[in-house]
Amino acid sequence: MICRMAVDFCLVTTPCCCTAWTWAKNLGDNNGPASTGWAGANGGGRVTNSLDRAADRGDFYATRRHRWTTTAFYDLPFGKGRRFGKNWGRAVDAVGGGWRLATIMLVQTGPYLTPTFSGGDPSGTNASARGSMRPDRIGAGSLENPTAAAYFDRSAFLCPGRVAGPDQFNCNIAPIGRFGNSGVGVLRGPGTVNLSMGMGKDFRIVERARLRLEGTFTNLPNHPNLADPGTNITAISFGQVTSVRGGDSGGNRVGQVSLRLEF
């Protein structure tokens, strides 16, 4: 079963600016025991427990609860025929006039992550051969002030059949005949703040030929957008962020400058 719901709000202003906010919720029980994307045609390929499909019901990884995007296109008011610089000479206007600006701003909450564990088979069903296994959850799992070194509360999880203590992350135990009680998508990863911007102008050479100068940058402020923390409770890296997101997902600043002849 899949349940999707979204509420969109868009405000359009001048000059050429549109801002939109989306509130979305995407629930399903067909993405396997640990959602890492969208459910495929095979419905996740497996279930944790075929007699309890509701145990795999949760938020899909890729649907962000809140997303705010703003796009703007603006002809800067400098140069001949514009508000400022109407009387500029040809040389000054060629350098400072006729510039246009374009921006895209993205602010969104993080993806929904699922805690897992490795080693052992507490359920006694050879669950590891079918995919990820989920632990028991005894706390919220989130932290009030998360950092890259500690984004989740590791003590909120333990291997099925264990109690809080020195061995709570040792899953090599005799089968106890049940699965972990932790749900799908119960943790939220880091959000994204990304401002991309471009500037450009045209230089007229003759009536049917012009040079177009453009410069574009993604993540112009070079804001560090953290990648997903580790989600395996039995690994030392659980809850730790070891990298930032890639350039196509709000990663480090990437820029290019181009000069093109059009005729």
The predicted model scores a pTM of: 0.83
Q: What percent of the chain has pLDDT over 90?
A: 50
Domain range spanning residue 256? 2-262
Q: Write out pLDDT tens, residues 74-110.
A: 888 888 888 888 888 888 888 888 889 999 999 999 9
Provide the pLDDT for residue 6: 56
How many structural domains are present in the chain? 1
Q: Write out pLDDT tens, residues 170-181.
A: 999 899 999 999
Query: SS3 for the chain, per residue?
Result: CEEEEEEEEEEEECCCEEEEEEEEEEEECCCCCCCCCCCCCCCCCCCCCCCCHHHHCEECCCCCCEEEEEEEEEECCECCCCCECCCCCHHHHHHHCCCEEEEEEEEECCCEECCEECCCCCCCCCHHHCCCECCEECCCCECCCCCCCCCECHHHEECCCCCCCCCCCCCCCCCCCCCCCCCECCEECCCEEEEEEEEEEEEEEECCEEEEEEEEEECCCCCCCECCCECECCCCCECCCCCECCHHHCCCCEEEEEEEEEC
